């Protein structure tokens, strides 16, 4: 899989894409992630990517030309499944969207900044818009990193324990059950004895019951099949 991220602030993406599971996936060649600086696609000597909004008002707007030129150069090299604009008013990211996107070959993620992008980018150049929640951040870089992480950890071979992503919350329609590790007792706080019993079927039963209970109290809508 390949993910190309378009941004006017590439440094914001350095750390999230160069550590932990995402870094390991890149090192193993399971995913290629390329960050493109939109300033490299401007035609003016000052490498400006934004301008004042027509009609006035506070806040700059990202210009269409550098975005279009960058997209054209990428699309000349390969076919993309989606051009995704990270946007607070897009469809809200869920596990099922991450699952779906993890099956694609080539994705482009476009990060806005300031007031956002010229609306014609959204009308003509983007195929999908995704939000990471109903709140506004300063730029699309952190949302793009969130989406990339959610996708990349699902790719076969990325997580060392293959079944691990499948037992995470939302994946099987349930919230994950509580987990504990050593010591079995800490300051008088103990671990549920069944987890120390060595009885796999009892442990499985306990986990399932607790997953159900957590789902009932924390995300009841999952039990309605939503």
- Determine the size of the site formed for ligand SAH (CB under 6 A): 18
In the three-class reduction of DSSP (H, G, I as helix; E, B as strand; rest coil), residue 48 is classed as: coil
**Of 44-52, 138-146, 148-156, 214-222, which part binds ligand SAH (CB under 6 A)?**
138-146
User: Judged by CB under 6 A, does residue 66 bind ligand SAH?
Assistant: no
Q: Is the link from the previous residue into 130 a cis peptide, with omega within 30 of 0? A: no
- Kindly tell me which residue out of 34, 44, 51, 89 binds ligand SAH, with binding defined by CB under 6 A: 89
Which of 136, 179, 193, 217 contacts ligand SAH by CB under 6 A? Answer: 136
User: Smaller CB distance to ligand SAH: residue 30 or 53?
Assistant: 53
CB-CB neighbours of 212 under 10 Å: 14
Taking CB atoms within 8 Å and a gap of at least 24, the contacts of 99-102 are 99/154, 99/171, 101/147, 101/151, 102/1, 102/151, 102/152, 102/154, 102/155
Residue 51 near ligand SAH by CB under 6 A: no
- Residue ranges in contact with ligand SAH by CB under 6 A: 86-89, 111-113, 115-116, 131-133, 135-137, 139-140, 143
């Amino acid at each position: 899989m390949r993910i190309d991220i378009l941004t006017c602030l590439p440094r914001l993406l350095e750390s999230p894409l160069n550590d932990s599971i995402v870094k390991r996936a890149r090192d193993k060649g399971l995913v290629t992630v390329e960050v493109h600086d939109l300033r490299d696609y401007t035609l003016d000597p000052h490498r400006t990517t934004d301008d004042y909004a027509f009609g006035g008002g506070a806040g700059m707007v990202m210009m269409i030309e550098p975005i279009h030129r960058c997209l054209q150069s990428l699309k000349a090299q390969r076919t993309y499944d989606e051009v995704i604009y990270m946007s607070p008013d897009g469809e809200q990211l869920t596990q099922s969207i991450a699952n779906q996107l993890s099956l694609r070959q080539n994705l482009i993620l476009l990060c806005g900044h300031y007031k956002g992008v010229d609306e014609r980018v959204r009308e003509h150049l983007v195929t999908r818009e995704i939000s990471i929640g109903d709140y506004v951040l300063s730029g699309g870089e952190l949302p793009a990193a969130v989406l990339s992480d959610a996708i990349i950890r699902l790719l076969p071979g990325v997580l060392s324990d293959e079944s691990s992503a499948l037992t995470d919350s939302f994946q099987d329609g349930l919230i994950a059950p509580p987990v504990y590790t050593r010591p079995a007792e800490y300051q008088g706080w103990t671990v549920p004895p069944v987890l120390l019993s060595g009885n796999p079927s009892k442990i499985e039963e306990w986990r399932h019951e607790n997953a159900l209970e957590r789902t009932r109290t924390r995300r009841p809508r999952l039990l309605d099949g939503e």
